[in-house]
Amino acid sequence: MTVLALDVGDRRIGAAVSDPTGLLARPLTVFVRKSNADDLAVIRRLIDQNDVHQVVVGIPLSTDDTIGPQAQKALAFARYLQKHLSVPVETWDERFSTSDAERELIALGISRRRRKALLDAAAAAVILDDWLTAHRAHPSFSIEQKG
């Protein structure tokens, strides 16, 4: 089952996709946000092109597990996607995914300029890798944030 993960920001959305076996996550793309309708069209295209069966939206919970303003925006977008996509949409705690992704890109020797372009997709890959790992360890385990 191929899964698409999204790192949703105010200006950009990073996307990552799993392989069909659900073992590997790879950064896919970053696109600039325009409107929910335009963003939905891009996400639908990614779903079709990659034969996606599940979408995971990262929710940046605060360190004390509260839902701050950015997490509220991401939850609202996840609910929007849930209403308009034909595949299931799940949310996933993504705190620290961006910093983890940046550390990985630095470790790979990626230049600062190139890191900036890749960071959102790399963060989506971190989100997806965490989600895949949790679901391999607990196949019936599912987390969905309500808000």
What mean pLDDT do residues 103-128 have? 75
Order of strands across the sheet that contains 52-59 = 25-32, 12-18, 2-8, 52-59, 89-93
Q: Which domain holds residue 10?
A: 2-137
In a domain? residue 143:
no
What mean pLDDT do residues 95-115 have? 68
Closest CA relative to residue 98, chosen from 2, 30, 35: 30
Instruction: Name the average pLDDT for the chain.
Output: 85
Q: Can you tell me whether residue 61 is helix, strand or coil?
A: coil
The answer to whether residue 142 scores a pLDDT higher than 50 is: no
CATH number of 17's domain? 3.30.420.140
Domain count, the chain: 1
The answer to whether residue 97 scores a pLDDT higher than 80 is: no
